[in-house]
Structure 1
Amino acid sequence: MAQHNAFYAQSGGVTAVINATACGVIEACRQAPDQIGKVYAGHNGIIGALTEDLIDVNQESDEAIAALRYTPGGAFGSCRYKLKDIETHRTQYERLIEVFKAHDIRYFFYNGGGDSADTCLKVSQLSEKMGYPLTAIHVPKTVDNDLPVTDNSPGFGSVAKYIATSTREASLDIASMCATSTKVFVLEVMGRHAGWIAAAGGLAGEAEGEPPHMIVFPEVAFDRKKAMARVDESVKRYGYCVIVVSEGARYEDGTFLADAGNTDAFGHRQLGGVAPTLAGMIKQDLGYKYHWAVADYLQRSARHLASKTDVEQAYAVGREAVALALAGKNSMMPAIRRISESPYQWDIIATPLAEVANREKFMPPSFITEDGFGITADCRQYLLPLIQGEDFPPFENGLPKVARLSLTLAERKLPDFTL
């Protein structure tokens, strides 16, 4: 088999373990020198391919690449940039193929969520139409855990561990002060359409009455009267109420509780803070003193509290992506398959991108309690294995060490391109 080059890019919101996937991809490529020559990474995701800003990963040492495994963020730069429709804006896709041709790139690894899977699929289809032999593999990543087929998405387990831990720790704070101070605490977590992260907050409590006392899921229509009654009941019964609310909480008509009125680069509604919105309702309807917090970027960058299971799976899908490509498995995604619950066992299977692109996996009704405010035993059984184990990064001078890359750009060979 002739030697050709590979391209890797990170897309969308980053995670605590997306760089572990990058590490898996790059190390696997380096271990196949007969088939893969250089590895390029897109500077700021797919934008780097369009503008021909290609990071020459071969300039990075083995030690620096290994350090990616415990480094959060997106080491090569990510982006929220959705390629336009291929039928009306074919030029962008043709530009990608031109860049790949110019740099002899025959392997395309795109690390992201559902939109990225769609892009990867379209690039694969166009390369075939243009007669350019490109093997395109989508590598799963999303804290939202909403990719179909795969049992769970790399990045989610670590967020789940962080949110469950933060909910438990903050609850102890509120419980200790509720007699004379704060009665209600609201924690806002990510999750636009799917409540997986909010559900993880439910792991904090293990017995009746333990917080969180209420979880607000996107999958369950928000009823203000019912929700306020739940808060009031919890305060009167336990002395306080802890709430975990998904940013995508919505009313029966589909309107978000916190719609900021704008859209992001992917066309998604920009959400403007459901925690203060919900806290305002509590103040207005019940008069209780409250505090609220937004986990925001902290939840997806907390590598110091990453799940060992998540780190191992993130690295594994990166390596498997390369194995699929070298085996000629085009337009595929390595998906995690749960083999058994006890002991928890998993492996990786190949899934056609057509079954993944632009599809979302929501919380099943069996995972949400009948009252709509908690998680069931089935949900707990699903979530618990994903947060198991600690994989602490090395520390130096009291702070976690991170990878330091040179990010050297390859020489451009094509004219400039306007996005």
Structure 2
Amino acid sequence: MNYLMGAIGIIVFLLLAWLVSSDRKNVRWQYIGIMLVIQFVLAFLLLKTPWGISFVTWLAKGFGYLLGYAQQGVDFVFAGLENPAVGKLPQASTFFMDVLLPITFISALIGILQYLKILPFIIKYLGWLISKVNGMGKLESYNAVASAILGQSEVFISLKKQLPHIPKHRLYTLTASAMSTVSLSIVGAYFQMIKPEYVVTAIVLNLFGGFIIASIINPYRVSEEEENAVIMTENEHKQSFFEMLGEYILDGFKVAVIVGAMLIGYIALIAMLNGIVDGITPGKMNFQDILGYLFAPLAFLTGIGWDDAVRAGSIMATKLVSNEFVAMLDVQNIVNNKTGELSQRAIGIVSVFLVSFANFSSIGIIAGAIKSLNDKQGDVVARFGLKLLYGATLVSFISATIAGFFL
């Protein structure tokens, strides 16, 4: 039954994208079919085969070593900060120090790989390969891969010179990719909150899911003349190694602080809304319960059983109105406390759904990043911001649904 609902769910999510399409007659379904097949194959390889499981285990182990090195830097700076026992626990886990601050070190590594031209090489040729199966231009494929490595705002720096000349329809696809993916610097933090296999599967599925939804909502063809006009160029100012390293370290620290600040604000706001609703209906429901009932049908369409749908829908909606970290904390609490609020299969589907930047705050982040580089294009992005979020959320639903077939 769950698999039948998953199949129906994929059709419904594609239909929801088609309903807001700018050109319904020219959607190229053949490419969408190819990419859906690729998603199913990749999900099977990552979640069900020994090679996929070994790859994810190796990747998680590698990030574990990196996070261990990062912790040495954190411990040196915050060695004197007390981390007292809480309840029966000998020592409380400090989210900011254990999860967020290591982003600084991962960001530094990305900067080094960028400086050594290793990441640009990977991005360029992986983007070229993907462009052969998605029916889109090389710029769109480049941007999707770059977004998954550099991040939703940083990626547009690499397109600074092309940005003024990118037409609106192509700009939508570029920003949709940025919202549907996550940056490599933040993956280590996700690994500490949900299972690595769900994180890796989501990243891979979202890459193609972004093209699927963008191809339906915003179909177009790129002419050879327009394609040839797109040339990746280097920044005029060549930084020294230590200039670059300092910049990436500070950028990583800024991300950690910004995410921490957003968590404080969002969790406090949700707690307040929970309190208000609880005050109106004492002991019956809270704000997240209301969100759960609203999102329950959509969660059900991903293949989650109805018994889990309300709780799963609540977590999905929490991610949409706040961010993925707030929602991941909910999942982490369910897993750690073994409350039985969700089945293991539901936890897997929800976890895959959470791995993306598709939330309301990302509209401002992406529009602001582009506006800082080109004021006019930033205003263009802001105008289709809600449509951007709508499409990116559908990407998350499709990725979660496909993953559900193998959980």
Q: Which has the higher helix share?
A: 2
TM-score higher than 0.5 here? no
Q: Which has the higher strand share?
A: 1
Provide the TM-score with structure 2 as the length reference: 0.28
Provide the TM-score with structure 1 as the length reference: 0.27
